[in-house]
Chains A and B, each alone.
Chain A
Amino acid sequence: MKTKVFHLPTLVVLFLSFFMNSCSDKIIEEITYTANVPVYMSFSELRSAVKSTQSRQLVHPGKIYIKDNYLFINEYGEGIHIIDNADPSHPETISFLEIPGNYNMAVRNNILYADSYIDLVALDITDPANPLETGRVKNAFPNRLPQFDFNMPVYGIDFTKGVITGFEQKVVTELVEKEYGFLESRLTYDNMGVANLGSSEVSVSPSQSAGIGGSMARFTINGQFLYAIHNDALKVFDLAGTDSIQTRTEIYLGRQVETIFPYNNHLFLGTTTGMLVYSLGNPSDPSYVSVFEHINSCDPVVIEGNYAYVTLRSGTQCNGFVNQLDVVDISSIAHPFLVKSYPMFNPHGLGIDNHILFICDGDAGLKVYNAADPMNIHMNQIAHFQDIRTYDVIPWNGILMLIGDDGLFQYDYSDLSDLRLISSIPVVEP
């Protein structure tokens, strides 16, 4: 006897509908590659790491800063050498201030302000041999990354784990849905030069280069305010309080900022795509005045009189392809315009003192010009020192301070055609 249990077509339809939803293929790509893998320092370790130690040799000098008779030399990413430079012919190293992740600094009164990876730290240097931490702004400069090999992807970044102090190159394996997600781990720059890693905007520490409170600085102080550039933002900190730093406004500039230079109650911001001018009429809230556009390039800036001197150079971080000196007329600060461009080899920092323009032109050495006639600077080269290869220069009280891979050099430039080396603090390879 046959028993009818199910109607056949119904069973088939049920069967098909049950399985049809799961009938899309799944494709997983297992990718093995060598990547930059972050090395972390915990937040608690970072915030207890600042301390004064015995003086040490220069190994990787970064930016320099001058305050009265003291010279501060950044040891790239590690801290600050404090040097008594009362007698430039005999600079005396006093101490070394360990500040992990330090690249920038500025001094107001007896307080040294320095970055420490993501934090801004205030240190009392009344006694330079024994600085004391007096304040800290946590996470003032978020999402900072140290230098890494841009040719390789970055793997596994997590900013909540701590600060990233470095990268190790390791072989990693990643499982991703085919053709989704993998490429986001590579560092990219948008059309304004702002660095991104995946969907996060990041700030990559500058390559080893020097500044002063000069052409390549990223911190500057005007009155009671510290102005710091971070990625595509200008940050304002109020230093008026004795025990604390107050975070004020943050101005998004929409482009990658490289340097900051204060002059005549204005800030001149060197970006990878132009020079921005902000007014300090209200110093707690700088306001946009104008922009001088140029093609993508790194561009330190110095100002004297009615002219801004901007060096553009090619470099991996700035995506630039030109090397030149631009002279910009800023007599009308709201309408800066290019006066003339001069070809250069690979100009980095520059300094100017009473129309004498000093340019660190990469491997071409130090060039000295009389810039009194901005239309004929190239016709007025005073000297060219091919063997002085430095990143940045600051002419100060008749002493020309230069810093580069080989260390700090101080020259007497009373005779411009015959610079006289009066002292040096050489780099010592560990």
Chain B
Amino acid sequence: MMLLAGLFLPSGKAAGYSIDVFTNQWTAENSGDDTKNDSSNSVISGGRFYSYTSAGLLIGNGESGFLANPSVTSVAGLSWSRQLYAGMGAGFERYNWSVLPLFGELRYKNKQYERLPMISFRAGYALPLEKTHDGNRYQSTGNTSGGVFFSPGISFRLAGKSGTILMAEVAYQYQEMRLNDVKYIWDAGSSTNIRYYYNRIAIKLGILFY
């Protein structure tokens, strides 16, 4: 947790704030008085450090039918009043080829209605982790490139309280990627640029630290 805090919040304020994570007793769910507790301990405009690491599967119908590919992501950021969370994250995901997603995240939890899930939204860009891929119609090797993605979702608390919560997360994930190839399809030659528009359901388990 200290490492993630250092990575995403390199300023001095962020460092002191990260330490605060482990001393904070975020028990508002039971007390119903989080706002007061959080604001009294805030370092940056009331913000408090949080991190969220999740792992699961990206499920959908690909070129060859149903598939489920792995997804592991980790986020660090600030939370306000244990309602609004904003962070930056990275991870590893697999589509036709493996990618490194870099993204920003927003989360919101309505504390008045405890049974309501936490809603989240991620958006960013995925960098390819493989330079080439055999993916076009001619089975030749093309050059991979990344693309934008976004992912709205909801999360539910499965277990845990007071700073460490095990969560289940379901999200829709849209991802674009490209594969570029030059191929002599006709005598005059031609190039192909395959645009992939992935539509997946992400089902994950995650741990939220705050």
Q: Check if A24 sits within 8 Å of B137, measured CB to CB.
A: no
Cβ of B147 to closest chain A Cβ, rounded Å: 12
Residue B92 is within 8 A (CB to CB) of chain A in the complex: no
B59 partner residues in chain A, CB cutoff 8 A: 23
Residue B117 is within 8 A (CB to CB) of chain A in the complex: yes
Q: How far is the CA of A92 from the CA of B90 in the complex (A)?
A: 86
Q: Check if A33 sits within 8 Å of B190, measured CB to CB.
A: yes
Residues of B in contact (CB 8 Å), total 34
A179 partner residues in chain B, CB cutoff 8 A: 137
> 11 A-B contacts, Cβ less than 8 Å apart?
A2-B115, A3-B113, A8-B117, A23-B172, A25-B196, A28-B195, A29-B193, A32-B190, A34-B190, A35-B186, A178-B63
Q: In residues 34-63 of chain B, which contact A (Cβ within 8 Å)?
A: 59-63
Q: How far is the CA of A275 from the CA of B199 in the complex (A)?
A: 58
Q: Check if A8 sits within 8 Å of B115, measured CB to CB.
A: yes
On whether A20 and B62 interact (CB within 8 A), knowing A27-B196, A34-B189, the answer reads: no
B137 partner residues in chain A, CB cutoff 8 A: 29, 178-179
Q: Check if A3 sits within 8 Å of B154, measured CB to CB.
A: no
Residue B2 is within 8 A (CB to CB) of chain A in the complex: no
Cβ of B157 to closest chain A Cβ, rounded Å: 10
Cβ of A199 to closest chain B Cβ, rounded Å: 20
Q: Check if A5 sits within 8 Å of B116, measured CB to CB.
A: yes
On whether A33 and B191 interact (CB within 8 A), knowing A8-B156, A25-B61, the answer reads: yes
Contact with B along A7-18 (1 / 0, CB 8 A): 010011001100
Q: How far is the CA of A153 from the CA of B201 in the complex (A)?
A: 40
A151 partner residues in chain B, CB cutoff 8 A: 186-188
Q: How far is the CA of A201 from the CA of B1 in the complex (A)?
A: 69
Nearest 5 CB-CB pairs, A to B? Answer: A33-B190, A34-B188, A30-B193, A24-B61, A151-B187
Q: How far is the CA of A20 from the CA of B201 in the complex (A)?
A: 7
Cβ of B69 to closest chain A Cβ, rounded Å: 11
On whether A6 and B186 interact (CB within 8 A), knowing A15-B170, A25-B61, the answer reads: no
On whether A24 and B115 interact (CB within 8 A), knowing A33-B185, A153-B186, the answer reads: no
Residues of A in contact (CB 8 Å), total 32
A15 partner residues in chain B, CB cutoff 8 A: 154, 170
Main secondary structure, interface of B, reads: strand
Q: How far is the CA of A386 from the CA of B202 in the complex (A)?
A: 78
Residue B121 is within 8 A (CB to CB) of chain A in the complex: no
B190 partner residues in chain A, CB cutoff 8 A: 31-34
Which residues in A have some Cβ–Cβ distance to B below 8 Å?
Answer: 2-6, 8, 11-12, 15-16, 19-20, 22-35, 151-153, 169, 178-179
A11 partner residues in chain B, CB cutoff 8 A: 117, 154
Cβ of A172 to closest chain B Cβ, rounded Å: 10
Q: How far is the CA of A4 from the CA of B116 in the complex (A)?
A: 8
Most buried by B among A3, A25, A27, A35: A25
B113 partner residues in chain A, CB cutoff 8 A: 2-3, 5
A27 partner residues in chain B, CB cutoff 8 A: 63, 194-197
Q: In residues 169-210 of chain B, which contact A (Cβ within 8 Å)?
A: 170, 172, 185-201
Q: How far is the CA of A35 from the CA of B187 in the complex (A)?
A: 10
Residue B114 is within 8 A (CB to CB) of chain A in the complex: yes
Cβ of B165 to closest chain A Cβ, rounded Å: 15
Q: How far is the CA of A23 from the CA of B186 in the complex (A)?
A: 34
Q: Check if B114 sits within 8 Å of A29, measured CB to CB.
A: no
Q: Check if A152 sits within 8 Å of B186, measured CB to CB.
A: yes
Q: How far is the CA of A34 from the CA of B194 in the complex (A)?
A: 18
Q: How far is the CA of A152 from the CA of B190 in the complex (A)?
A: 11
A32 partner residues in chain B, CB cutoff 8 A: 190-193
Q: In residues 85-126 of chain B, which contact A (Cβ within 8 Å)?
A: 112-117
Q: How far is the CA of A19 from the CA of B173 in the complex (A)?
A: 10
Give which listed residue, B62, B136, B201, contacts A19 with CB less than 8 A: B201
Q: Check if A34 sits within 8 Å of B186, measured CB to CB.
A: yes
Q: Check if A29 sits within 8 Å of B115, measured CB to CB.
A: no
Q: Check if B201 sits within 8 Å of A23, measured CB to CB.
A: yes
B116 partner residues in chain A, CB cutoff 8 A: 5-6
Q: How far is the CA of A16 from the CA of B170 in the complex (A)?
A: 8
